[in-house]
Every structure is written in C-alpha cells, then in structure tokens.
C-alpha cells in the first residue's frame, strides 16, 4: 500500500514538473494570424494625411497582458479599413465597448471632459493602465507591475502631474507628487513595498476618485468642499469631522500668505531641531577636547 502511494506521489510530482518546466509559455490568442506581420518592429503605415505610424505589436508584452485571450478583431473590427489615426478619445471609446461603467465615469471626469474638448494631454485608459502606453500591454490592476497597482498609483499620476509644462497649461502649480511623498501617507506607501498589510494608506485615488476624478475645485469633487473632504477622510479615519478635514492643507506648500500658522510652526520645529543638533555637536566637541587635553601623557 505504501509502495502504491509512493508511486502515485512520484507520478503527480513528475506531471507537475513537466508542465512547470517543459511546456511552452502561454501565448496570446491570435486566431487570424495578425502577429505574423505585426510582430515585426519595422511594420508601418502611411495615413492619407501623410503621417507615418507604427503598427508594431510587442508579442512578449501581449502574452502577459490582461487582454491576451481577446482576439485582435474584437477591438480592430476592420483593421485594414481604418483610415483615421486613433486618438486618445477614440481609444477610450473602444475600451468602453467592454468596460462600459468605467467609460461612463471617465467621460464625465475632468480627464474625459478635457479629451472631449480636444485636449490630447489629458489621461485616457492606457495612460493609467499600461507602462508602454498601449492597450496591448495593459496589466491587471492587482499585478505589482501594473501602473494602477496601489503602490504605483502616485508614480503613475506623476507621469502627467509631474510634467511642469503640461500642468502650467492647466493652471496647476502645486507640486502634488512631492507634497504627497513628504506626507505620512506617502512615506508609508514607500516603506510598504509589496507588503499588502501596509498598502492600505491613502493614495491619490482615495481622495480624488478613480475613473470619476473631478477638478479639485468642482463642488462635485471628493475634495471640492469641506463636507466632501470630510467624507473622503472618514473612509480611513472613522469619526473624522469637518475640523479634522480642515486641518488638511492639500498639496499647497505652507506659506505666510496661505497658511501662516503652519508656516511658523514648521519653521519653529526646523529651528528647534537645528538648535538641538548644533548644541549636541558643540557639547560633544568640547567634551572630546577636554578629554584629549586632560588625558595623562605617557
């Protein structure tokens, strides 16, 4: 009996080992053979307007993407009869054929409304879900490699919000990424790395929304009023009231003009810290000199 159990266990291990080490990797669905041409880096197309665009699809990225089991013609229904160059808004509309709820939210958000106005600098789906900025490399949100993975969200937002020229064109002057990373929330996210137990601290989407992000001063925004901000804080801080929310100064740097009390407190702590450190160095130096001077000479 023991011999039979041993043989059965050995057989199971052999089967597992075979499928783990000797089988071919999972490949993306390509029933029409599109990748026979589109996996060539130099494949290009010249539009009617004379613009040359690349038609290359990175097969390695596609094989591990969230869309790897979706056949090409589900998104490209008439691939050889599409004269117009895809834009950010047409790309978002195409994503919306499957992701209808998310597309509706995005269309009503500040990003979606900006795209509708023809502002191509605004974020669409692939800006937040693909490292290569292409729908062929969209990674599942729960994958640590995804730009939308909780630990990576601040860096993903900074792709656009860290672009000074782009932000200036929208009248956004605050250094949002730097102020977030200096905060308690940002420091914990940095230290947590991939520890899921510590990745529950607030990041950009907790306060501003996900697909439904509004302009910060919009009354409908999660941070658009003190009452809304209180509700946003209460998601993580049960019992947070308007006084709690009022203590948050946002991404604006404290200054004499905007937050004089916080400005003076920060400078006071800085002066106190510098004084303590300087005093400690002076005392240590004097003690060392005294010890050296009084030490018996041989």
pLDDT digit string, tens, across residues 146-182:
999 988 999 999 999 999 999 998 888 788 898 899 8
* Count of beta carbons in the 10 Å neighbourhood of residue 147: 21
The pLDDT value given to residue 120: 87
Mean predicted confidence (pLDDT) in 76-104: 87
Percent of the chain with pLDDT over 90: 38
CA-atom Rg of the chain in angstroms: 28
At which residue do the structure tokens 């992000």 appear? 213
Mean predicted confidence (pLDDT) in 185-192: 84
In the predicted model, is pLDDT for residue 287 greater than 80?
yes
Give the least confident one: 105-114, 172-181, 251-260. Answer: 251-260
Mean pLDDT for the chain?
Answer: 84
> At a CB cut-off of 8 Å and minimum separation 6, what does 289 contact?
none
In the predicted model, is pLDDT for residue 195 greater than 80?
no
Output the pTM of the full model: 0.76
The pLDDT value given to residue 21: 47
The pLDDT value given to residue 17: 54
d(CA 127, CA 125): 6
The pLDDT value given to residue 258: 66
Please give the angle made by the CA atoms of 111, 58 and 105, to the nearest 5 degrees: 20
Mean predicted confidence (pLDDT) in 38-44: 90
Count Cβ neighbours within 10 Å for each residue of 179-213 and write b for 16 or more, e otherwise.
ebbeeebbeebeebeeeeeeeebbbbbbbbbbbbb
The pLDDT value given to residue 266: 78
d(CA 235, CA 73): 42
């Amino acid at each position: 009996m023991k011999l039979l159990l041993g043989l059965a266990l050995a057989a199971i291990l052999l089967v597992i080992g075979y499928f783990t080490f000797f089988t071919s990797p999972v490949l993306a669905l390509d029933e029409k053979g599109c990748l026979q041409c589109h996996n060539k880096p130099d494949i290009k197309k010249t539009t009617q307007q004379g613009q040359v665009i690349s038609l290359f699809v990175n097969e390695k990225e596609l094989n591990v993407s969230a869309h790897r089991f979706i056949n090409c013609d589900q998104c490209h229904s008439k691939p050889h009869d599409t004269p117009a160059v895809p834009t950010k808004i047409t790309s978002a509309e195409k994503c919306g054929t499957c992701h209808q709820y998310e597309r509706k939210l995005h269309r009503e958000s500040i990003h979606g409304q900006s795209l509708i106005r023809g502002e191509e600098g605004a974020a669409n789906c692939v800006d937040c879900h693909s490292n290569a900025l292409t729908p062929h490399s969209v990674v599942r949100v729960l994958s640590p490699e995804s730009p939308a993975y909780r630990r990576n969200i601040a860096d993903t937002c900074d792709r656009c919000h860290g672009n000074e020229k782009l932000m200036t064109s929208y009248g956004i002057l605050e250094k949002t990424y730097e102020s977030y990373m200096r905060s308690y929330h940002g420091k914990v996210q940095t230290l947590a790395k991939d520890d899921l137990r510590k990745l529950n601290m607030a990041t950009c989407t907790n306060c501003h929304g996900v697909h439904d992000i509004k302009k910060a001063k919009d009354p409908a925004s999660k941070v658009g009023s003190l009452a809304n901000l209180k509700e946003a804080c209460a998601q993580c801080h049960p019992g947070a009231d308007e006084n709690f929310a009022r203590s948050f100064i946002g991404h604006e740097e404290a200054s004499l003009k905007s937050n004089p009390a916080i400005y003076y407190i920060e400078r006071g702590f800085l002066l106190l810290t510098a004084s303590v450190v300087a005093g400690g160095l002076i005392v240590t130096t004097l003690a060392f000199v005294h010890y050296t001077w009084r030490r018996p000479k041989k």
